[in-house]
Structure 1
Amino acid sequence: MTAHDPRITVGVDGSAGSAAAVAWAARIASLRHLQLKIVHGLQIAGLYYGGGMTGIGAATLFEAVQADGERAVAEARALAASIDEHLVVVTELRNDPPVPTLIEESRHARMLVVGRTGRDGFADMLIGGTAAAVAGHAHCPVAVVRGTLSPGSGPVVVGIDGTPNSEQAVAIAFEEASLRGVPLVAVHAWNDVTYEDAFGSARILTQPESLEEGEERLLGQRLAGWQEKYPDVEIRRLLVRDRPRHALLDLSAEAQLVVVGSRGRGGFTGMLLGSTSQALVQHAGCPVLVVRPEPAA
């Protein structure tokens, strides 16, 4: 992957989604012989506002929040140990909100893992939530754990759009497929409508047959060299005339992991998590690994 510390970091909050993330992260750390770090950020912000709470009342509430965090971390540690008793596990309870805590932790991790939802129960409202915010700003690949989690079943799927960010996703996808011993499905989706500016003006491309040939060449170019580096990985190329999010969401129903860049071509500058990766984070049927661009040297 990238030149980060040899650890997998997982954010926990005591929810069912958090438990699934811990189990998945523990398996990944065990497979790679890496350390697992379990992190919980206390939701302290706002405890002292909106009700005139001061003194003993505020201190009692803080103690309750801290105890809740300690319980979440202890449960996560026990779950990780049940998956691999030899796994090296470290924990940290921080007096900072979850999102900035996890983004800071991502500076020192090979991969950051989060669950699909928190305690608030709004399963379909991830835009602006912990998962989307972390995936959009982290300094390392972020896995959002979704789906039924069937270890060892299904291929790894990677979305390819011809951008440098996509190239990084391809590199990680090959590594994941090789480590898991499963095929890699390389998906390049295209259509004959292209949006040329931020106002959404569109034009219809002519000669779709010749366009498809060009897209097929692009897919071949993006995979060139990787099969030589990973001869053990069976590659299945898939060129589809559709929106990328549609194709990847369909494939996620049978995959064990979908790997995607954080932003595709034509993205708006302010949208740090592109529309395709946002759709996958919200609706995919399996864990999604969002690859952020490498920082400039």
Structure 2
Amino acid sequence: MQLSGDVIVGVDGSDQSAEAAAWALKELRGTGRALRLIHVITPAHLEIDDEAELTEAGRTVLTGLADRLGDLDAVHPDGASGTEILTEVIVGDAGEELAMRAEDAGLLVLGRHGAGTVNSRRIGTVSFGLPGHALSAVLVHTVRDGSEFDDPSGHPSIARGGARGGVVVGLDTSEYAGVAALDAASLAVASGWPLRVLVGVDALGDRAEAESRAQSDLAWLRESFPELDADIEFPPGDPAEMLIDASKTADVVVVGKRGRGVFAAMTSQLGRTSSAVLTDAEASVLLVPYRRDPRLSARSA
């Protein structure tokens, strides 16, 4: 996917955040971008005398993780090692601090839930609330059966655990969806994995017109990515439900942060579909914000 800046990972000491950091490291190989590991201490959880101790404990967590990631990077068989890994401990609100630092980031990566929630499918409060406020793209990483640390030959873009089902993207007529489709195609091509493009025609009105437009969009993606292995599906029903169902066999589900109802939904940071997918998907979810991209003009044409 397109990275306009460094990749930030929120680290809280949990296995989920460590696996998210390993995923991010694989995504960064060969890009020249740095990996920034950030640990946030929340003021409400500490006494004044505890701050120095907790800050030191946070540094220990980050140093240990950085060492593990450095070992993982060094043994990668393609030799594309040497990713710069930076660490930072901050006192403040986790959501606010990470959102502020994500303004100039290429990607913000979070574990699905934090250290206080073990083996739960429920998404954590920060991982649910932050994607709508961050200006960057946000990847909420879900750990399934495997570990990112197990197989250093794993491709940079795809999680090692899970169903190995490739990349799924939801597509409608909005420019948010167009940008999401470009990033999903980029992920798929980089990994050598197929891309499934899902179009909820029931929500788009005229079915024949919606299918024709979707086929044009698929041709547009193939023109932008000649090596793309992609197909398109038109499942019936609610768009959120079809993406959640697809997540059962996918590695990454990609959605725009908002869809066709962008102006009606300006009071909320995420659209209804992206919010539902983030909450209930069984795969990692990449939420893509709008950005200007010259390739969108070809889609409109």
What is the TM-score when the length of structure 2 is the normalising length? 0.81
Measure how far apart 1:227 and its partner are.
0.5
Runs of 4+ in 1 over 6 A off after TM superposition: none
1:188 pairs with 2:185: no
Write the distance in 1 (CA, Å) between the matches of 2:143 and 2:107. 19
Q: Which residue of 2 aligns with 1:94?
A: 90
1:283 pairs with 2:280: yes
Q: Which residue of 1 aligns with 2:71?
A: 82
Instruction: Tell me, yes or no, if the aligned pair for 1:27 and 1:83 is still in contact at 8 Å.
Output: no
Measure how far apart 1:179 and its partner are.
0.8
Write the distance in 2 (CA, Å) between the matches of 1:70 and 1:26. 19
Q: Which residue of 2 aligns with 1:117?
A: 113
**Deviates most, 272-281 or 171-180:** 272-281
Give the secondary structure class of the aligned counterpart of 2:286: strand
Change over 3 Å in CA distance of 1:186–1:21 after alignment to 2: same
1:151 pairs with 2:148: no
Instruction: Tell me, yes or no, if the aligned pair for 1:253 and 1:286 is still in contact at 8 Å.
Output: yes
Deviations 1:82-111 (A, max 9, x none): 320232211111222211111122122211
Percentage of pairs with the same residue: 27
Write the distance in 1 (CA, Å) between the matches of 2:214 and 2:240. 17
Instruction: Tell me, yes or no, if the aligned pair for 1:157 and 1:259 is still in contact at 8 Å.
Output: yes
Which is higher, the Rg of structure 1 or of structure 2?
Answer: 1
Give 1:17-36 correspondences, 5 Å limit.
17-30=16-29, 32-36=31-35
Residue identity in the other structure for 2:183: I
1:243 pairs with 2:249: no
Residue identity in the other structure for 2:160: P
Please give the root-mean-square deviation of Cα atoms over the aligned residues, in Å. 2.4
Write the distance in 2 (CA, Å) between the matches of 1:291 and 1:280. 13
Q: Which residue of 1 aligns with 2:227?
A: 232
Instruction: Tell me, yes or no, if the aligned pair for 2:111 and 2:142 is still in contact at 8 Å.
Output: yes
Instruction: Tell me, yes or no, if the aligned pair for 1:190 and 1:243 is still in contact at 8 Å.
Output: no
Q: Which residue of 2 aligns with 1:179?
A: 190
Q: Which residue of 1 aligns with 2:154?
A: none
Query: What are structure 2's unaligned runs of at least 5 residues?
Result: 75-81, 147-158, 294-301
Query: What are structure 1's unaligned runs of at least 5 residues?
Result: 48-57, 195-204, 206-210
Q: Which residue of 2 aligns with 1:14?
A: 13
Write the distance in 2 (CA, Å) between the matches of 1:188 and 1:17. 31
What is the TM-score when the length of structure 1 is the normalising length? 0.82
Write the distance in 2 (CA, Å) between the matches of 1:73 and 1:28. 19
Instruction: Tell me, yes or no, if the aligned pair for 2:167 and 2:254 is still in contact at 8 Å.
Output: yes
Write the distance in 1 (CA, Å) between the matches of 2:30 and 2:249. 22
**Deviates most, 134-143 or 212-221:** 212-221
Give the secondary structure class of the aligned counterpart of 1:294: coil
Residue identity in the other structure for 1:120: G
Write the distance in 2 (CA, Å) between the matches of 1:100 and 1:32. 27
Q: Which residue of 2 aligns with 1:212?
A: 207
Decide which of 254, 270, 276 is 1:273's aligned counterpart: 270
Write the distance in 2 (CA, Å) between the matches of 1:90 and 1:98. 18
Write the distance in 1 (CA, Å) between the matches of 2:11 and 2:245. 29
Deviations 1:2-34 (A, max 9, x none): 5732x2211101112211211211111126453
Residue identity in the other structure for 2:173: G
Instruction: Tell me, yes or no, if the aligned pair for 1:158 and 1:260 is still in contact at 8 Å.
Output: yes
Aligned residues: 268
Give the secondary structure class of the aligned counterpart of 1:222: helix
Give the secondary structure class of the aligned counterpart of 2:26: helix
